[in-house]
Structure 1
Amino acid sequence: MKKVILFLCQGLEEYEASVFTDALGWTTTYGLDPIELVTVGLRPKVKCAWNFTIEPQFQLSEIDINDFDALAIPGGMSRSGFYEDAYDERLLSLIRNFDSQGKIIASVCVGALPIAKSGVLNGRNGTTYHLSEKRQTQMREMGVNIIQKPVVIDKNIITSRSPSAAMDVAFTVVEKLTSTANLDRIKEGMGFIEKSCV
């Protein structure tokens, strides 16, 4: 079974994390090929952007990163402390490790910023929040070729430009880790593909 780290930074946007828990969760109940999702952070409790507090299953120091096949990074709000964790060297090192092995790294919105800061997107295509010139400029300064599309895939790295693209990112992770048939199956179960009752 494939395993994915959902990395929970302080100040993350709840919706951007929840799409991964739902899409990958559906693979374990309705899908053809289950994917295990594990929540990981740098602190025992994470205060989210909109005042939820969540507890990661594991601290980064408690897991063997070699057991995992992909990394998902939801974006968050700077006013809620997102970049305290997003720019932490422990996360940046994890990103570099995954990229060196060609493992999938997926982000939503400004979750692309730590990927860029790690250096692995230097000279490659990516995107981030499309309504923030500041964040797009930061990405460019870190060597990223900004593409103005909802989801941008450059080899093993998936970036996106806003919360609205979050589910598409989660679905892309499911498809890349398993198959199009598995993705279609869970999309059917979740109601994204209509199936008439007989």
Structure 2
Amino acid sequence: MALRYSLELPRSLSNFTPKRALLKKRFFSVSASAATMASTARKVLVPIANGTEPMEAVITIDVLRRSGADVTVASSEKQLRVDALHGVRIVADASVSDVADSVFDLIALPGGVPGVDNLRDCGALESLVKKHVADGRLYAAVCAAPAVVLGSWGLLKGLKATCHPSFMEKLASSATAVESRVQLDGRVVTSRAPGTTMEFGVALVEQLYGKEKANEVAGPLVMQSNHGDEYTFTELNPVQWTFDNSPKILVPIANGTEEMEAVMIIDILRRAKANVVVASVEDKVEIEASRRVKLEADMLLDEAAKLSYDLIMLPGGLGGAQAFANSETLVNLLKKQTESNRYYGAICASPALVLEPHGLLKGKKATAFPAMCNKLSDQSEVEKRVVVDGNLITSRGPGTSMEFALAIVEKLFGRKVGLEIAKAMVFTRT
């Protein structure tokens, strides 16, 4: 399986002429020293704060943990629970002050405003990162964080870096600003936005463990082959998705839910101004997702089930999908949804483990996680990344989650809105 991410190299590390080096993407061949690194778990710190962009934080954590890295999620706030953007609540493993004297192989900063301001203003984090960089260790940042945090701390001097398009002018005052989706220079890796974060995460895996491990992690993600292209989806039996006022959407989560899928769906739908209710299928609102990211739901499913929804959307994750399938309350909600011809969908393991066994794919075309497509009774569309069949939408895995969520946005609000969000996330080229 080819490694599906691209990494821009500084001139000294590439074979490109100076002008082409800024414009052309290529696959990065890891240095010999990185390739021969021992397979022991690398220690990684991902700090988060109120106002952090949840997709950037969760995708980075999830991808790195898939590689076997020992990732500590640390809150720069007084409490462990962080109120990230778009109403997503993440519970950290520790506080920054708890790990101030620890040594890490990598520190990776997510973006999001005002999250980056809160990270920049955390004195304990600034001291930790500056010592980490002075010791010659790997560091990274995405979105606004390269400009607002690393640049403000003077950690990008003389280096090429990238960031969110709206912060490029600020970045240019502290670094050589380039428009790469992922940029490596020396020991720093930078990236642009939520739409480039999965590529960023895989690039960090390669820096920590080498290209073979990065390939191993990238394969099951089902990433795009052509990053930056406009999103597409396959539609069969098209119907107009309609709703009154703002569409009300239920996103259930459970222990073992795939956190990237859940957070991308929630975040993107809330960007579109949909009314998203996140409900825990467990007996408490806090769940531990498949890569041990702790998320806090808005309410328990029993409470959420008292309401009606225009759309019910199931994230994947093996354990989470099994919990959904075993929830009589959720299955009954889904059955009522289909009986009333309202909209529903699922991604990754959930089409195969929840919808199929409960008869919710009868007469429908669907797709699912590649290893589970054999569980679908109709496999005619399983190679498609996103499939819409009337009032049903399904998709394949973490690497198709943005396309999946954007397709939902398009069905509800139109393609113009979907493309605006895709461009703001730098998922689609601006």
Q: TM-score, normalised by structure 1?
A: 0.84
- Matched-pair contact (CA < 8 Å) for 1:6–1:37: yes
Give the drift of 1:193: 9.1
- Does residue 1:128 correspond to 2:163, yes or no? yes
- Quote the residue 1:10 is aligned against: 50
Larger Rg: 2
- Does residue 1:153 correspond to 2:184, yes or no? yes
Matches within 5 A, 1:20-169: 20-27=60-67, 34-43=68-77, 44=79, 45-63=81-99, 65-78=101-114, 82-112=116-146, 113-130=148-165, 132=166, 135-141=167-173, 143-169=174-200
**What RMSD in Å do the two structures reach over aligned CA positions?**
2.1
Give the drift of 1:148: 1.6
> For 1:18, what is the secondary structure of its paired residue?
helix
> For 1:50, what is the secondary structure of its paired residue?
helix
> For 1:37, what is the secondary structure of its paired residue?
strand
The total of aligned residue pairs comes to 184
- Matched-pair contact (CA < 8 Å) for 2:182–2:192: yes
- Matched-pair contact (CA < 8 Å) for 2:104–2:132: no
- Matched-pair contact (CA < 8 Å) for 2:76–2:118: no
Cα shift readout 1:151-184 (whole Å, capped 9, x = no counterpart): 1111111111222111111111111111111111
Structure 1's 153 and 147: CA in aligned 2 closer, same or farther, altered over 3 A? same
- Matched-pair contact (CA < 8 Å) for 1:125–1:147: yes
* Aligned partner (choices 175, 179, 185) of residue 210 of structure 2: 179
Distance in 2 (alpha carbons) for counterparts of 1:159 and 1:87: 20
Unaligned 5+ runs, structure 2? 1-40, 226-369, 372-430
> For 2:108, what is the secondary structure of its paired residue?
strand
Distance in 2 (alpha carbons) for counterparts of 1:193 and 1:148: 19
Give the number of the structure with larger relative contact order, counting CA–CA contacts within 8 Å between residues 6 or more apart. 1
- Matched-pair contact (CA < 8 Å) for 1:95–1:118: no
> For 2:140, what is the secondary structure of its paired residue?
strand
- Matched-pair contact (CA < 8 Å) for 1:87–1:117: no
Distance in 2 (alpha carbons) for counterparts of 1:161 and 1:192: 17
Distance in 2 (alpha carbons) for counterparts of 1:94 and 1:63: 9
- Matched-pair contact (CA < 8 Å) for 1:70–1:103: yes
Cα shift readout 1:72-120 (whole Å, capped 9, x = no counterpart): 1110023xx5413333332222221111112111111112120111111
> For 1:5, what is the secondary structure of its paired residue?
strand
Q: Which amino acid aligns with 1:47?
A: D
Q: Which runs of 4+ in 1 moved over 6 A?
A: none
Distance in 2 (alpha carbons) for counterparts of 1:53 and 1:66: 25
User: For structure 1, which segment, 180-189 or 61-70, has the greater mean C-alpha deviation from structure 2 after superposition?
Assistant: 61-70
- Matched-pair contact (CA < 8 Å) for 1:46–1:54: yes
- Quote the residue 1:30 is aligned against: none
Distance in 2 (alpha carbons) for counterparts of 1:193 and 1:114: 29
Unaligned 5+ runs, structure 1? 28-33
* Aligned partner (choices 205, 220, 228) of residue 189 of structure 1: 220
- Quote the residue 2:358 is aligned against: none
Distance in 2 (alpha carbons) for counterparts of 1:124 and 1:94: 20
Identity over aligned pairs, percent:
22
Distance in 2 (alpha carbons) for counterparts of 1:64 and 1:93: 8
- Matched-pair contact (CA < 8 Å) for 2:73–2:93: yes
Q: Which amino acid aligns with 2:216?
A: R
Give the drift of 1:25: 2.3
> For 1:91, what is the secondary structure of its paired residue?
helix
Q: Which amino acid aligns with 1:56?
A: A
Structure 1's 191 and 137: CA in aligned 2 closer, same or farther, altered over 3 A? closer
